[in-house]
Structure 1
């Protein structure tokens, strides 16, 4: 029927638009300020009970912003689309779909894949989808401010909400604001501190009076009093009661214990019962359809001129504007659904499924809703829908479809297989509660050890990124024990994940438990030699025990040059075994080949950053940290966020940015239990110690470095603590704790472990700083002989500086000068300003000439501005820089605008003249621009 080009949705009660001014004037002002004031723009969550006026408030904000020349993008969540990935985002961006084609190629491809268009391929990277939307909104905001409105967010799909949360954190200088309205704040993902919460309360009596006065026929006298009493300050209830006051046979009773929403629904149900059965069924079809029904769905309904619509409009259930028909409120939709019998609902779902033959995902869900018992065909349709959702990056939708498919599966083995697949998809959402619920369903459906252990393994992996490391370890070890006999390969995977937890926790008991369990697994495998994964996990859990693997790393990495997962594992092992240069090369090779395997970071997500940091690629390390932090923020992975912050703090401290380093380190410590995540804690302590040392507070520096060691001088963490030895020694010499530091160093020497070459360097360096003058040089020379300047340039340059200072104090100036020049060049190249300044002072004291330094102003830029400037100096465009650093192009432009005057330049072409570009490898693109993030180790 050609006359059915009309829309159906859910709107607020049909009051005068200015009702928002009267009902919630203060809240309206706050939203307008957040939407229009350049200094107050932000993201706001508007919460409140049904009928409290959220949608009306959004209407008014949209009207005001639109009238002032702003662009408004608006969408509404819908129960029928809650399980369709990126449905709300697609609705938001549909009016500006043409702009998508103007995005950079990778961003355009990712966004098109999310919307189910474009060339099929690997699932799009969720971070890249977020960057694409950020860039798109930034481009739209070039001509006018942009306001993003999402109503009924409690029914929006998870994937869309994740993207909006990502964008809200990064709009920066863009004139882009967001308002999300929800009746159920708890149903939303964690939106963190970037969102302002605005709770709409019931109207005070004077405001309720004013609302009634603005109605076309305000109630008066006793009727007015009854409306005010029974409306309880709820605008929708007030309007509905006033609209039909005296017409209903049974008005609400005062003091009714039912909440307003339930009483409104009951009132509308009474009106529904007065309609013809056919009208009720048509309304039910509308209630079950999307807010913007497809043309095929409209063929199930009478035309706009049919007398039925006049009847339902007269009943106060719908509003008509031209050819558009809308439910008067979401509660009307709910009332229509709740008042229908099961057979009526089932018939409506079947009718919609029959009409939606060109939309297999919606069709599958309507069939599922109409099915009560087992139905293999519907289960298969849902499994297919889950596959499409996964390919679009909609992991929450995929998990829900697989779970429902499991419920409809007739075969027990299929049911267990599907719930296991649902659990794996749920892991990708980062929602531990969802994963634990699905694991519980697995336990309820089977007592077979293998699927139970796999569910425990999935839960443990996510726990390691989000919560207690001790609990995660126990979960993973239980899975390993259960899998040892029936599925030893799976047990090996569980032990690999447990080894990751052992690295973070540093608990010695965990090393022994892993070793014993590995022996059992190897017996079950009947292996004649230990598989590579087994050797890897022991190197991670016990580096001295992995010494045999160290000798083979170079050969193994060469052999794995086309296998990115294996390269990544070997890179981690190389770093933990102190082969830093080899680790960096393997990381780069793996990232160049990687294809997407899901949004979550590798279980040792910070290792690539640490390896690059040690290797002197500080900006590259910060880029890894930025990506890990972005993923962690988006998915609520507190432990991963702590790891990113701690490593980033170390990078900031090395460059002399003490304030930023302290903030990052303190954030890292706030997100973890230092007793359970010793490695992250030690990185944070080191960053705090370095920050204190470069500001001259050596007593505080000593205390921070000493926190990396136990009371008896043993390491807090078996791998992370040893790097703090020279720093502890240097702070001790300057603060009067010489003997205490010497005891800690001696405790390390006497540990009885086989020390790596790097550990020997760190011990000799520490001993040189603490030794009597007559013996110091021997240790300095030993440290330099063993140190690899190419592998760990910062550590090597610090030995050079300390030795040169020692030589100059003994008037051996000729010997000191070349060392000072060498370390000064390294510090300048790395941007390690405090140490470069020390080297310059020593050079001047030795009478040497010093080359012009890097502009001091560069060091005064924020870390993010420094990253932007370095990438711009390499010729990257604002869009490319934004994609690398998860910023909008406008924010990149703002950083450059602020940096140019500080650097004394006026053009982009001058950046190369003022920056030291001797180490271009330090400013390559972030991990995300060369491949997708590595998947969870041993996933």
Structure 2
């Protein structure tokens, strides 16, 4: 809130802002939703403008819903959303009758019902539907003051709602301080900067309130206030008669001194009014029913003295009390003693004991001075309830407070350790973990620390320091010494987290000897073991020796991602499915994880999702997108200290550099990988380096170097156990072997692939196997192998991996040219060159062009228009659009978003020299695909 000001209709110097508000209200009346954000310094008059907007909306026949952020309620999930939607809650029952899923989600979020935790998107959709129904009777204006102090859960949902009001008779107006974070951070709403009043308007405001003020005093105050309405209105108050005497103190109350003005006015209140004011300040929602009930019990004048002093306003229609400025609220709390605050929290806890358990637990915790396990347990329960609702940050805060209230011992240690682990895993606060872990150990010294403390330590060692062996030793020892009892006293989920962390440690180490303890621990679990553990343990260890059960488990898990709400489980499933080339089917779920992280959710999961999406984009030929995604993930790694994770993102960047001919950058990254991995024995990062070097060497035409690097991951003729990255360099090894005359090694490697049925894992791997067999098959079998390869090349699903397809066609076309089958060679080589050129794979384009010239074709190296300028994906989209498919249909078919399809078409039209979709068929020549 901002300071006091003239009432609606009499604001001085705010004509441009009022015209903007009139436009906003007019848009609501016409049924066009909109958003508007006022920003400005404290006291500049933003709240007065919100009051003006509410008056304009009411006058136009619109309804007004209001909420105000409160510092002291920022830890209560969905408190602000409940405050905003309170008048609409009767509509929930009607919504429940037609859309029970949305109504149920909103009831859970608001603490009015029980059920599975709603995702932010589901909660936002429920709010939108509720508003849509409420606006059916009359348009609505949502007014949100001080959004920087909203609880995080409400802020995230309102941010999503604000971006989805188009076409609804609902508008959202908010006001926040300049530079403060708010729920619009991820959007780009129309914003009005509320500036200080111009000199003339400031003088008019001051003269209107203090017409008798001496000219010299007025000039001094105008110079000191610099157009800030709050300062103009408040500065004269402590001066008394000095405003007419013309003599002022040397130092006038400004900024910090304004706080002193508020403090002095608070001190003048009777004790009974002040205690009610403390209670109101700590309540956050300042519910008049609560305040008046307490006042009735205690007698006295109630809040009347505070109202008369201009410290608070009472809104009878909303049943709320509001402070005229947040500094007043802060001053009230600052001036209170610890005993006064505890008494207020005790009263509030009692008031909410039977109706709002989360607020009851929080206030009870704040009222408690000494360790009290009963109170700590209540807050611990609220923390885990927050987890189930997706409010991870709130859960960590409450766990930390519960730990403070826990008596020294194993329980306090466990809560501190769980906060450390959740902070690392979810919110990305890896650097805060060591301090919390040390506090956990101090709370319960000795060898039998809680398992979650060991998990937190191992997680930090792995991701922060990359200390694979120490992390492995800690976890395996803890799991061995704490075999799973009939009733897992550490909590089943803690053991799941321990085993998942151990899986990541084993994968990072890339050594066979690390895995057996994990497999033994998994075998000890009571059946059925969770898929989130068993699937990664299989695909990240010895994928070549997969079983049909593994594939079935993977496909079932990937299919279930559409209903999964846990970012961690989504990422774990996608990570396990990535070696199986199943990332396109995980794309939508991973994008949800990224959006969740960008909006303040699970940061660590968002980093992992960004890198998985970047890998998918590289594999499927969306290379600019791959660079952007990996760059975003790397920036987050740098901010949060995730060293090990960063190498996954740098791998994609290095492969892009190698494919596009930036060999020096690729080589530098490979050197960095080896230098980091060697002392830490992080074998997976060494494999990354070998992969980068093999692709770089292939791009340079240095095939012997490529063979040595690819076979360093796993020797030719075998897929070594516990070397899952061997599948990633499978193509490199076969291609390099063929080019260096190592036909026997190539055939042995292909035979091993056939023996392990790798060709059945995905269309990409089948393409590579068939391509290698066509190049190395003996004469009698060559025709059959070539026929199978041709069929796979033409298969639609093969085109989803354009770089691999073009490499196959380049090798096959070169082979056909040497056999003097020029026409067939030209076809494959031309298609390969076209794909490489579209991708920007410069060295590979040059190789394909050289081969084409050798067939007698004159190659043009410029293709900035026409069909040759289209990337493979743009060509697919153009053909489908020409056939009459909508953007949504094309998106579903190619595993893209409709927005991405539209962006590609926007680029296609100028390349083809057309301006409309209708002209696509003629421009493409052969018509569209069905």
Identify if the C-alpha distance between structure 1 residues 634 and 31 changes in structure 2 by more than 3 Å, giving closer, same or farther. farther
Per the alignment, residue 457 of structure 1 pairs with: 455
Q: Secondary structure at the match of 1:846?
A: helix
Name the residue aligned to 1:469: 464
**1:665-686 deviation line (CA, Å, top 9, x unaligned):** 4434444479985676456545
Q: For 1:854-933, what aligned pairs fall within 5 Å after superposition?
A: 856-858=875-877, 868-869=888-889
Superposed displacement of residue 820, structure 1? 1.1
Distance in 2 between the 1:27 and 1:681 partners?
53
What secondary structure does 2:294 align onto? coil
Report what 2:427 is aligned to. Answer: 430
The answer for unaligned runs of 5 or more in structure 1 is 1-9, 519-529, 537-555, 875-880, 907-912, 917-939
Q: Is the 8 A contact 1:15 1:215 kept in 2?
A: no
TM-score normalized with structure 2 length: 0.69
Match of 1:331 among 303, 327, 332: 327
In the other structure, the counterpart of 1:442 is 440
The CA distance in 2 between the partners of 1:143 and 1:839, in whole Å, is 64
Which position in structure 1 is the counterpart of 2:760?
Answer: 790
Paired residue for 2:80, among 75, 88, 91? 88
2:553 equivalent to 1:586: yes
- How far the C-alpha of 1:88 sits from its partner, in A, is 1.4
Residues 749 and 16 from structure 1, CA distance in 2 versus in 1: closer, same or farther, beyond 3 angstroms?
A: closer
Q: 1:158 aligns with which of 152, 156, 168?
A: 152
The aligned runs of 1:185-200 (5 Å cut-off) are 191=185
The count of corresponding residues between Structure 1 and Structure 2 is: 837
Aligned-residue offset at 1:13: 1.0
Partners of 1:106 and 1:170 in 2: CA distance? 19
| Distance in 2, Cα, partners of 1:485 & 1:773 | 50
Give the whole-Å Cα distance in 2 for the aligned partners of 1:410 and 1:764.
57
Q: Deviations over 1:362-384 (max 9, x none)?
A: 34444444443455654455455
Q: In the aligned structure 2, how far is the partner of 1:677 from the partner of 1:580?
A: 34
Structure 2 partner of 1:819: 789
Aligned counterpart, 1:541: none
Give the deviation of 1:641 after TM superposition: 3.5
Question: Structure 2 vs 1, CA of residues 715 and 47 (structure 1 numbering), >3 Å: closer, same or farther?
Answer: same
Structure-2 separation of matches of 1:338 and 1:773: 77
SS at match of 1:300: helix
Deviates more, 1:895-904 or 1:787-796: 895-904
1:13 counterpart = 2:4: yes
Contact 1:715/1:721, CA 8 A, preserved across alignment: yes
Does residue 227 (structure 1) correspond to residue 221 (structure 2)? The answer is: yes
What 5-or-longer segments of structure 2 have no aligned partner? 485-489, 817-821, 829-871, 910-914, 921-926
Q: Which residue of 1 aligns with 2:584?
A: 619
Alignment correspondent of 2:824: 846
Tell me if the contact between 2:67 and 2:143 (Cα under 8 Å) persists in the aligned partners.
yes
- Return the offset for 1:790: 1.8
Structure 1 equivalent of residue 618 of structure 2: 653
In the alignment, is the contact (CA less than 8 A) between 1:350 and 1:370 conserved in 2? yes
Residue of structure 1 in register with 2:287 after alignment: 293
* 2:369 aligned counterpart, secondary structure: coil
User: Does the CA-based 8 Å contact 2:593-2:606 persist in structure 1?
Assistant: yes
Per the TM alignment, residue 59 of structure 1 is displaced from its structure 2 partner at its CA by 4.4
RMSD (Å) for aligned C-alpha atoms = 6.2
On the 8 A contact 2:620/2:801 being kept in 1, the answer is: yes
Q: 3-state SS of the aligned residue for 1:75? A: strand
Cα distance in 2 for partners of 1:172, 1:741 equals 54
Structure 2 Cα separation of the partners of residues 113 and 629 of structure 1: 24
Q: TM-score, normalised by structure 1?
A: 0.69
Following TM superposition, by how much is the alpha carbon of 1:623 offset from its aligned partner in structure 2, in angstroms? 2.5
In the alignment, which residue of structure 1 is the partner of 2:13? 22
Q: Matches of 1:423 and 1:712 in 2, distance apart?
A: 30
The question of whether the paired residues in 1 share the 8 Å contact of 2:770 and 2:788 is answered with: no
1:821 offset after TM fit, Å?
A: 1.9
Give 1:113 shift: 1.5
For 1:617 and 1:322, the matched residues in 2 are separated by 58
Helix, strand or coil at the partner of 2:427:
coil
Contact 1:86 1:394 in 2 (8 A): no
Whether the 8 Å CA contact 1:472–1:501 is kept in 2: the answer is no
Q: Looking at both structures, which has the greater relative contact order when contacts are Cα pairs under 8 Å and sequence separation is at least 6? A: 1
Q: Which residue is 2:260 aligned to? A: 266
Q: Name the CA shift for 1:252/1:111 in 2 (closer, same or farther; >3 Å).
A: farther
Per-residue CA deviation, residues 692-751 of structure 1 (Å, 9 max, x unaligned), is 75xxx5x34797489557899999974577699899767745643334324434655669
Stretch of structure 1 that moved more, 616-625 or 701-710: 701-710
1:633/1:332 CA distance change after superposition, 3 Å = closer
Distance 1:272 1:182, change over 3 A: same
Partner of residue 736, structure 2: 770
Q: Is 1:116–2:136 an aligned residue pair?
A: no
Distance 1:737 1:27 in 2: 70
Does the 8 Å CA contact 2:119/2:390 hold for their aligned counterparts?
yes
Q: Is the 8 A contact 2:273 2:302 kept in 1?
A: yes
Other-structure match for 1:372: 369
Please state how far the C-alpha of 1:620 moved relative to its aligned partner.
0.5
Cα distance in structure 2, aligned partners of 1:73 and 1:896:
41
8 Å CA contact 2:738, 2:775 repeated in 1: no
